[in-house]
Amino acid sequence: MAKKKKKNEVVNKAQVPAFLVRFRRFDWAVLSLGSIILLSSLLAAGHPYKLDSADPYGFLIWFLLLLGHIPMEIIEFVAKLSGVEGKTIENFIRHREALLLGACNLSVLAVCWGVMRFHILKRYGAEPLRIAVIFLRLLFFWGIFQIFCFIAVKNWSDGKVNPLHRDLKKTPSAAVVKK
């Protein structure tokens, strides 16, 4: 009877492709968050880094600042120490802030993945990975929400949404002629 169980287990493992067996929920959570970070940075690429104005790209920038702020500070500190600060870095980064933030986010995510997957898993077991999966899923859904907010505000500001109230549907020139 025991041999049949082992035989069935081997058959079940053989039916699953090899690359799926090695991936844990933690790995899938890291990949999904990485894809949202990449999408956000590509959508916001080439747009100014203005957090003080009502810009639809601000949703994406604030999401990218969540994990990318610490590496940006490290880059700025190293640039200050090496004497490269000032106009050189500003000219290089201008209108590429979202791409740099995306790269910083992905680097932080890769470092966290490596530490959690290869150090924490061996030392403490799978329980910290379960907690990390919850945190990564929160970040993933927060990124999805920010992308939806970006799309809604972008469509609204571009005039692709009809006003809900009848008075707002009148053209501005007709309102001026009446007065």
CA–CA distance, 58 with 75 (Å, rounded to integer): 22
Give pLDDT, residue 176: 55
Query: Counting beta carbons within 10 angstroms of the beta carbon of residue 136, is it exposed (0 to 12), middle (13 to 18) or buried (19 or more)?
Result: buried
Could you tell me the pLDDT band of residue 3, with boundaries at 50, 70 and 90?
low
Average of per-residue pLDDT across 32-47: 90
Mean pLDDT on 162-179: 57
Has residue 32 got a pLDDT over 90? yes
Tokens 């601000």 label which residue? 58
Q: Taking all residues of the chain, what is their mean pLDDT, rounded to a whole number?
A: 77
Number of CB atoms found within 10 A of residue 145's CB:
12
Residue 21 token pair? 């067996």
User: pLDDT by residue (tens digit) across 49-96?
Assistant: 776 667 888 888 888 888 887 887 887 788 788 877 666 556 666 667
Residue that wins the pLDDT comparison between 54 and 36: 36
171 pLDDT band (50/70/90 cuts)?
Answer: low
